[in-house]
Amino acid sequence: MFDITLFGSVFFTLFVIMDPPGITPIFLALTSGRAGKVQRRMAWQAASVAFGVITVFGICGQQILDYLHVSVPALRVAGGLLLLLIALDLLTGKADEPTQTKDVNVALVPLGMPLLAGPGAIVTVILAVQKAHGVDEQASVWSAIIAMHVVLWLVMRYSLAIIRLIKEGGVVLVTRLSGMLLSAIAVQSVANGIFGFIHGDG
């Protein structure tokens, strides 16, 4: 059966990491001055690039780890530390906000990667796919990944309306809350990695 708990866990973790509310003002800054039709196309491109990168790592993640001789506990600790850095940026408001550049397609870089498909999201997907056993759990994980990218596309697609609705203060509030929750997830990831080393997993 479809594992709704696993779906919710993966979706929520990716939501916190990829931070759709926080990406809204960045998307608007990077695409400002362009026609609405162009902005909508760039929203689709950014979500597609992020999904493509996440999919590659989700499918080939274990092979990449084996090639580099990296254990799962090591990846968990490294991933936890990366998530903690992201969480601190969210909490302190020091996350980089690239300025608009008309000479490059910002939907690909930096929006698609590394802002959306960043190290935190990549590590999360690799671990989620690696831990999922059976068709049902795999379906739950990949459904969460797809749903998350649909949300990202919708948020960017309707970013102008969203920013008018929640205002800048609302974006800041949600971003700070996401940072607090992400920091807890990061600490748990590090702890799981340390216990993995102790018990000889991976």
What is the block-wise mean pLDDT of the chain (202 residues), using blocks of 10 residues?
A: 92 93 82 82 95 94 84 83 82 60 71 84 91 94 98 92 77 79 86 87 62
Cβ–Cβ under 8 Å, residues 33 and 100: yes
> Residue 94: its pLDDT value, please?
65
Instruction: Name the E strands within the chain.
Output: none
> Residue 180: its pLDDT value, please?
86
> Residue 48: its pLDDT value, please?
96
Q: How far is CA 7 from CA 4, 125, 145, in A?
A: 5, 12, 9
Residue 125 amino acid letter: V
* pTM of the predicted structure, to 2 decimals: 0.76
From CA 18, how far away is CA 4, in angstroms rounded?
20
> Residue 101: its pLDDT value, please?
46
Residue that is written with structure tokens 């205002």 in the block = 167
